[in-house]
């Protein structure tokens, strides 16, 4: 490495003495500002300018205060484009795959404190529950199996807070024959076709029972669940509002012959 030439040393001494080279640190994170100038030779002036550009002497300082930009007002509607005469906007009603399928006649339109309103115009009042089996509606009073005076409804919850009713309350499902799961699937289908075609008989085979236990959710007791499962029927327990919505959806999708419902009015409260 060669030592610097005498001319370069004289140029550096002259620049330092005249204050042409200035190094300052304005802030903790401010960039180093360097400017090089030499009155002796234009060649060294260009060299100093290139060094200054390389090390960022022209970097502008950041403003000490950033003014927030004015936010635009909230749009009045969700349409972000100009009005269009074409059907370009999404119709969410067309996305309903069950929109063109009629609801079953026993679909629950309203859940009342003392009853239910069905899609076929039937109104169940007087505090009775409802059994929806095979497209038919039955008034249901599962608390009648108890002998406790005026507090029969309160006995539908056992001391553990579980929903429990006597086995007689499920007597309608015990009359179903053949019971689901009693035979194989193909045998049950063949027997169904035979009874309908030759004997002109139609039987109901429930696969799922939607149980609504009132305005508040309560677990189902193991004894009641075991009895319902012994009939070959699976059970789903919810509060009455959600149970009604689930029954309407499943009955529309699968039909009323495979889905049944047992509902307690939402006005019933546990003790």
Let me know if residue 107 belongs to a domain.
Answer: yes
Between 210 and 192, name the one with better pLDDT: 210
pLDDT in tens, 95-105: 666 667 777 88
Residues 152 and 256 in one domain: yes
Residues 167 and 249 in one domain: yes
Average pLDDT over residues 139-168: 77
Let me know if residue 46 belongs to a domain.
Answer: yes
Let me know if residue 166 belongs to a domain.
Answer: yes
Omega before 178 within 30 of 0, i.e. cis:
yes
Residues 31 and 110 in one domain: no
Give CA–CA dist 236/90, Å, rounded.
35
Instruction: Report the domain count for the chain.
Output: 2
Let me know if residue 210 belongs to a domain.
Answer: yes
Give CA–CA dist 132/243, Å, rounded.
12
Give how far the C-alpha of residue 105 lies from the chain's centroid of Cα atoms, to the nearest Å. Answer: 28
DSSP 142-169: GGGG---GGGTGGGGB-TTS-B---GGG
- What pairs with residue 124 in β-bridges? 116
Cβ neighbourhood burial of 249 (10 Å; 0-12, 13-18, 19+): middle
User: Residue 42: which pLDDT band, with cuts at 50, 70 and 90?
Assistant: low
Residues 126 and 46 in one domain: no
The pLDDT of residue 184 is above 80: no
Residues 126 and 19 in one domain: no
Average pLDDT over residues 209-231: 91
**What is the overall mean pLDDT for the chain?**
72
Percent of the chain predicted with pLDDT > 70: 52
**CB count in 10 Å sphere of residue 184:** 9
Residues 132 and 205 in one domain: yes
pLDDT at res. 93: 64
User: Residue 205: which pLDDT band, with cuts at 50, 70 and 90?
Assistant: low
Instruction: Residue 150: give its domain's CATH number.
Output: 3.40.1230.10
- What pairs with residue 118 in β-bridges? 108
The pLDDT of residue 229 is above 50: yes
Let me know if residue 27 belongs to a domain.
Answer: yes
φ, ψ of residue 110 to 5 degrees: the values are -150, 140
Give the structural domain span for 183: 100-263
Let me know if residue 95 belongs to a domain.
Answer: no
The pLDDT of residue 207 is above 70: yes
The pLDDT of residue 8 is above 50: yes
Between 69 and 211, name the one with better pLDDT: 211
The SS3 of residue 6 is helix
Residues 253 and 119 in one domain: yes
Residues 49 and 173 in one domain: no
The pLDDT of residue 67 is above 60: no
Query: Which range has highest mean pLDDT (12-26, 49-63, 201-215)?
Result: 201-215
Q: Which two tokens stand for residue 71?
A: 């936010």
pLDDT at res. 237: 95
Let me know if residue 250 belongs to a domain.
Answer: yes
Between 199 and 241, name the one with better pLDDT: 241
Q: Which two tokens stand for residue 167?
A: 């086995």
User: Residue 35: which pLDDT band, with cuts at 50, 70 and 90?
Assistant: very low
User: Residue 181: which pLDDT band, with cuts at 50, 70 and 90?
Assistant: very low
Residues 48 and 175 in one domain: no
Residues 50 and 105 in one domain: no
Q: Which of 54, 71, 89 marks a domain boundary?
A: 54
Residues 38 and 112 in one domain: no
Let me know if residue 239 belongs to a domain.
Answer: yes
pLDDT at res. 10: 79
Residues 166 and 240 in one domain: yes
pLDDT at res. 13: 78
User: Residue 131: which pLDDT band, with cuts at 50, 70 and 90?
Assistant: very high
């Amino acid at each position: 490495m060669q030592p610097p030439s005498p001319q370069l040393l004289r140029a550096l001494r002259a620049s330092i003495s005249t204050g042409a080279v200035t190094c300052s640190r304005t802030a903790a994170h401010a960039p180093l500002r360097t400017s090089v100038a030499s009155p002796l030779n234009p060649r060294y002036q260009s060299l100093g300018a290139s060094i200054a550009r390389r090390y960022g002497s022209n970097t502008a300082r950041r403003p000490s205060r950033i003014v927030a930009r004015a936010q635009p007002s909230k749009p009045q509607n969700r349409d972000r484009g100009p009005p269009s005469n074409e059907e370009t906007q999404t119709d969410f009603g067309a996305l309903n795959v069950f929109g063109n399928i009629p609801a079953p006649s026993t679909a629950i339109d309203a859940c009342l404190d003392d009853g239910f309103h069905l899609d076929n115009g039937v109104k169940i009042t007087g505090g009775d529950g409802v059994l929806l089996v095979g497209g038919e509606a039955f008034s249901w009073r599962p608390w009648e199996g108890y002998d406790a005076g005026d507090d029969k409804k309160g006995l539908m919850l056992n001391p553990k807070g579980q929903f429990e009713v006597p086995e007689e309350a499920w007597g309608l499902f015990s009359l179903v024959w053949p019971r689901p799961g009693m035979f194989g699937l193909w045998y049950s289908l063949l027997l169904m076709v035979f009874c309908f075609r030759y004997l002109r008989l139609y039987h109901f085979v429930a696969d799922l029972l939607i149980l609504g236990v009132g305005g508040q959710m309560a677990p189902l007791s193991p004894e009641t669940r075991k009895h319902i499962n012994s009939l070959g029927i699976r059970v789903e327990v919810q509060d009455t509002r959600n149970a009604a919505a689930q029954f309407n959806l499943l009955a529309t999708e699968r039909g009323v012959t495979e889905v049944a419902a047992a509902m307690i009015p939402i006005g019933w409260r546990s003790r």
